[in-house]
A and B are shown apart, each in its own frame.
Chain A
Amino acid sequence: MAKKKVPEINGSSMADIAFIALIFFLMVTTMDKEEGIARQLPPIPPEDQKVEDQQVNRRNIIQVKINSNDRLLAGGVPMDVSQLKDKIKEFMTNPNDDPNLPEKEVKEVKGIGPVPVSKGVISLQNDRGTTYQAYITVQNELVKAINELRDDFSMRTFGKKYAKLDEEQQDAVREAVPQRISEAEPKDVKKR
């Protein structure tokens, strides 16, 4: 009996098939990662709410304004974006207990103990003509300032960077160094 020969599959078109599949994937998929700066918007205040109870002590607020030429004004002083981070850090820590900088409240933080927590609020205001890039740059600087403060704080208490802490400790640090950025109500938005 003659040995039965298994016919060989012609594999020369395999490369073409693979190429077609490759091109298909190149067309219908994207590589860009979904990244950005996450923010929580304040809820719309009810119509009948009184304005007074939103008043915060003046020393606890720093006004950060960006005008239509992308110029920056922080705490009444015009400055460059590069200076903003240090300004915010100084504002939030208030190292010399300056009466013009925000007061601190000793709070019991779970897992750490009593910590002086700043009551400072950053109020961000922008013009309708501000470019988006300038706005994001400023937002970025604010986040960077807070992140650095959190890193400092966790280094002092846990001896580790904030990102290396476990979840419970991160919560504690977040409570001790809060991120309070309020985006002011736009002034010229028409009521509906």
Chain B
Amino acid sequence: MAKFIKENKGELPQMNTSSLPDIVFIILMFFMVCTSMRQNETKVRVRTPQASEIAKLDRKDLATYIYIGTPSQQYQKEYGTDSRIQLNDVICKDNSDLSPIRDFIASEREKISEVDRPFMQVNIKADQDTRMGIITDVKQELRRCSALKIMYGARKGGVQK
């Protein structure tokens, strides 16, 4: 029976932590490789709809983002709970006046080198519960600024019935 008597009385042996920095560095490398820098903070809540036949964005540097959704909690006092359009870091004041989109597209187009300008793509990231009315308005405005290449942001998943 003597075999089973604990030799150190309740004292835990010190864990060897010399490999901890290496482990953390590996996790760090993983995150550096797999993620991309956040473009801008989304002030509207966007849960993109699900689709199965999605394509990847081929040139990230040519993409411009338009977010459409309900403002998140801290902005609801200012903008209400209706669907809003966000360009860069600003939420559009008025849904019926879409002239900011034109300025926005023009300024984004300036940033892209002249060779790539025809390939500029506007990525519409809209919440799945948004009504199409506002999206149609945005699309019409994009047609007016002749930004015709668009992409409907979606995430991979089984299509809901």
Contacts and interface: CB of A to CB of B under 8 A. Distances in A.
Nearest to B34: A31
Interface of A: 11, 14-15, 17-19, 21-22, 25-26, 28-44, 80-82, 126-133, 135-137, 139-141, 143-144, 147, 183, 186, 189, 192
A11 B156 CA distance: 44
B114 interface: no
B136 A189 contact: yes
Nearest to B21: A14
Contact of B31 (A14, A22, A32, A137): A22
Contact of A133 (B21, B27, B56, B160): B160
Contact of B54 (A35, A41, A130): A35
A133 B128 contact: yes
Closest 9 CB pairs of A and B: A128-B133, A29-B35, A14-B21, A34-B57, A18-B24, A133-B128, A140-B51, A136-B49, A130-B132
A130 B133 CA distance: 8
A108 B53 CA distance: 29
Interface in B131-150: 131-133, 135-137, 139-140, 142-144, 146, 148-150
Q: Is the interface of B mostly helix, strand, loop or mixed?
A: mixed
Interface residues of B, number: 58
B85 to A, nearest CB: 13
A181 B112 CA distance: 29
A34 B154 contact: no
B156 to A, nearest CB: 7
A38 B52 CA distance: 13
B55 interface: yes
Given A36-B54, A132-B128, A21 B28 contact: yes
B56 A34 contact: yes
Interface in B31-67: 31-32, 34-38, 48-57, 60, 63
Contact of A143 (B32, B53, B140, B160): B53
A22 B28 contact: yes
Contact of A144 (B36, B53, B128): B53
A29 B34 CA distance: 9
B126 interface: yes
Interface in B73-126: 121, 123, 126
Contact of A131 (B21, B24, B54, B130): B130
28 contacts: A18-B24, A22-B27, A25-B32, A25-B35, A33-B56, A35-B154, A35-B155, A36-B151, A36-B154, A37-B152, A40-B149, A129-B131, A131-B129, A131-B130, A131-B131, A132-B126, A132-B127, A132-B130, A132-B132, A133-B50, A133-B128, A133-B129, A137-B49, A137-B160, A140-B154, A140-B159, A143-B53, A147-B53
